Every structure is written in structure tokens, then in C-alpha cells.
């Protein structure tokens, strides 16, 4: 599943995100969702979340 729909993402879910500085390279970071930062129901580039490690990024894959 890709991370473009907010309803697919729950707190505590294991996801892979792309951080701002990694957008060109596409390097993904894995972690567990702590907070969902995007308010809209959909976002074409992925819903922005904060991981438990404090990393902020857009969800590209949901495990």
C-alpha cells in the first residue's frame, strides 16, 4: 500500500518514509508512526508523519 490516503495510516503502524533531504535519492527510512501531521484525507506525495524516533517524512510504503 502506498501512503497517499490518511485513512490507511494508524498510530503504531510500521511504515517506510522519505525524508525531505532524501527526496531526490528516494532513500527510505523505516519506523513506527507516532503522529500523523497531514490534516487532509489525501496527499499525492504521501501523508506526512512523525516516527517514534522523531524523524518526519512522507509515507511511501505501509508494512
pLDDT tens digits along 36-55: 999 999 999 999 999 999 99
Q: What is the CATH number of domain 6-62?
A: 2.30.30
* Per-residue confidence band for 1, with pLDDT thresholds at 50, 70 and 90: confident
* Per-residue confidence band for 21, with pLDDT thresholds at 50, 70 and 90: very high
Cα-based distances in Å from 15 to 22, 25, 31, 59: 16, 18, 6, 7
Backbone phi and psi for residue 51, each to the nearest 5 degrees, phi listed first: -85, 165
What percentage of the chain exceeds 90 in pLDDT? Answer: 98
Q: Which three cell numbers stand for residue 36?
A: 500523523
- In three-state form (DSSP H/G/I as H, E/B as E, the rest C), the secondary structure along the chain is CCCCEHHHCCCCCEEEEECHHHCCCCCEEEEEEEEECCCCCECCCCCEEEECCCCEEEEEEEC
Going from N- to C-terminal start, the domains of the chain cover 6-62
Amino acid at each position: 500500500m502506498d501512503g497517499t490516503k490518511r485513512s490507511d495510516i494508524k498510530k503504531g503502524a510500521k511504515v517506510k518514509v522519505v525524508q525531505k533531504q532524501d527526496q531526490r535519492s528516494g532513500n527510505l527510512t523505516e519506523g513506527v508512526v507516532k503522529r500523523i501531521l497531514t490534516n487532509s484525507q489525501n496527499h499525492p506525495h504521501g501523508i506526512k508523519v512523525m516516527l517514534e524516533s522523531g524523524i518526519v517524512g512522507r509515507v511511501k510504503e505501509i508494512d
